[in-house]
Each structure stands twice: as structure tokens, then as C-alpha cells.
Amino acid sequence: MMEIVLTITVVAAVVLVGLVISVGNERQRKALEGVRESLKEWAISDLKIKRALAEREIIVEKPFLWLDRKAGAMLGSVPGIQENVKVIQHPKAIEVEKADGGLLVFSPIAPRVFRKMCGNSRDRNGLLKEGLNLLGKKPQTAEVYEFSALNAGIFFDVELNQVRKRLTGAGLEADRLWMYVVGE
């Protein structure tokens, strides 16, 4: 009889110790999660401060060279963008000529929407009505490349705003830019 009571007491003690350890682990997990969140918020705010300080020092002197380098990084070779630009207000786009005579169109508008706007429809919103044929005869076949801070540099948006301002006179608050390689 004494053995049964002793066994039950030992089992209860082991379960109680397990519960205490489990509760302690849960508290520690919550505390570590709080520390991780605090560290994350600190890192983000620190990055914002550093970025704000560095933004003042960023100056893009040669916008065509900047576009040429960014396009070259995506295409695998520098296209040799010519220093003439056609600015389109609706939809927001910049058309430039490559050294080989081909065209590149840069726009902050996502491909699905931009291609629809550049489609060959002759409705009241169609660009053909205005004499524009931005993406050639077959807009769906134009190659598309996306630029963002992930693949074009951490200060891409700041540089883009400066380049757009120098080329068009108006800035562009956008964090992405799409480049369309026009076939025909």
C-alpha cells in the first residue's frame, strides 16, 4: 500500500515539475518574442533614419546613364539608351530609343493594366485614338522587367524620382518601375 502511495506521489511530482517547466518555457517564449519584436522595430527605425540621412546625399547627375545601367542589368547588356525621350502623360510612361533603334518604355503602371491601356482597342480610353502605339502592334508580346529596391538598389525609389524629374520636369513617387522592350 505504501508503495502505491509513493508511486502516485512521485508521478504527481513529475507531472507538477513538467507543468512548472512548461509554464516557464511559455513565459520565456513570450518574452523572447517581445524582445524580437522590439529589436525588429528598432532596426526598422534605425534603417529609416540612416536612409533619410543618405537620401540627401543621393544625386543622379546623368539620368540617361542611370537608365542605361539599370536596363543593362536586367537585359544582360547595356542597351545604349539615346538621349532623347518621349514623355507620355496618360498613361505615365517614358519612351526611349536604344542604340540599335529598338524602343524601351518605362512606366510605374503594372503590366496587366499598362498592356490593356496600350491595347489596339479604338474605344474612348484607347491610346490609338491619340496616335500612340507604345508597345507596338502586339502589346502582349513585349518583354517586361520589373525594377524595385530588391533588384535595383536600396535607394531605387529616390533615384527614380530624381531621374523622372530631370527627364520630364515632374517627379514620380513610386517604388516600382516596369521596363517594356518593344518588339515592333
Question: Nearest-CA neighbor of 169 among 105, 97, 109, 94?
Answer: 94
Q: Which amino acid, one-letter code, is at 31?
A: A
Interval 149-184: pLDDT, tens: 888 888 888 888 888 888 887 777 778 899 998 875
Q: Calculate ∠ Cα 163-179-78, nearest 5°.
A: 80
3-state SS class at 143:
strand
Q: How many CB atoms lie within 10 A of CB 161?
A: 18
Dist CA 158 CA 57 (whole Å)? 11
- Structure confidence at residue 117 (pLDDT): 82
The residue ranges of every structural domain in the chain are 1-57, 63-182
Q: Calculate ∠ Cα 70-74-80, nearest 5°.
A: 60
Low-confidence ranges of the chain (pLDDT < 70): 119-132, 184
Rg (CA), the chain: 29
Helix 63-75 with 156-168: angle, nearest 10 deg: 130
Measured in whole angstroms, the distance separating CA 180 from the mean position of its chain's CA atoms is 16
- Structure confidence at residue 120 (pLDDT): 56
Dist CA 78 CA 61 (whole Å)? 18
- Structure confidence at residue 50 (pLDDT): 82
Residue 117, all three cell numbers: 491601356
